């Protein structure tokens, strides 16, 4: 695992780099989900949510 920009989760730029054209799909998949709010990076996605998305698993509440 590579070092992240934010210790709370994945930033928008990291997600864009990892997901490319699938970023919009991930954003829709994340609708209504909890994200961490970082003072420096804004909303960041949890690594677990990213992993579930790339594996094609459903959202877990």
Say if 19 falls within a structural domain: yes
pLDDT tens-digit map of 15-31 = 999 999 999 999 999 99
Say if 38 falls within a structural domain: yes
CB 47 within 8 A of CB 10: yes
- Residue 38: strand pairing partners: 42
What domain range is 21 assigned to?
A: 12-54
Say if 45 falls within a structural domain: yes
Domains of the chain: total: 1
CB 6 within 8 A of CB 44: yes
Say if 33 falls within a structural domain: yes
CB-based contacts of 9, cutoff 8 Å, min separation 6: 35, 36, 38, 44, 45, 46, 47
Q: What is the pTM of this model?
A: 0.88
Say if 23 falls within a structural domain: yes
Say if 28 falls within a structural domain: yes
Say if 5 falls within a structural domain: no
Give the Cα separation of 61 and 54 in Å (integer).
17
pLDDT tens-digit map of 35-58 = 999 999 999 999 999 999 999 999
């Amino acid at each position: 695992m590579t070092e992240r920009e934010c210790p709370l989760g994945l930033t928008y730029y990291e997600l864009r780099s990892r997901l490319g054209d699938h970023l919009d799909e991930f954003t829709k998949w994340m609708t209504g989900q909890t994200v961490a709010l970082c003072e420096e990076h804004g909303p960041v996605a949890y690594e677990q949510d990213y992993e579930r998305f790339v594996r094609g698993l459903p959202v877990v509440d």
